[in-house]
Amino acid sequence: MSTSPLLLALLGDARLPSGGHTQSAGLEPALRAGIAPAEVPAYLRSRLRTVTKVEAGTAVVARAVAANAGDLVEVEAAWAARTPSPALRANGRRLGRGYLRVLQRLWPGPVDARARTWSRPVVLGLLAHRAGMNPADVARLVGYDDAQTVTAALLKLEPQDPLTIAAWVSELFPDIEKMAAEVALLRLPEQIPAHGAPLIERWAETHDTITERLFSA
CATH of domain 8-202: 1.10.4190.10
The series of mean pLDDT values per 10 residues for the chain, 217 residues long, is 77 75 86 93 96 97 97 97 94 92 92 93 96 95 94 91 95 97 97 91 85 73
- Specify whether the CB–CB gap between 193 and 82 falls below 8 A: yes
d(CA 21, CA 89): 18
Nearest to 26 by CA among 8, 49, 52: 52
- The pTM score is 0.94
Distances (CA, A) of 120 to 97, 102, 210: 7, 11, 23
Task: Compute the distance between CA of residue 165 and CA of residue 149 in angstroms, rounded to an integer.
Answer: 11
The domains of the chain are located at 8-202
> Is residue 95 within 8 Å of residue 18, measured between CB atoms?
yes
pLDDT at residue 206, rounded to an integer: 87
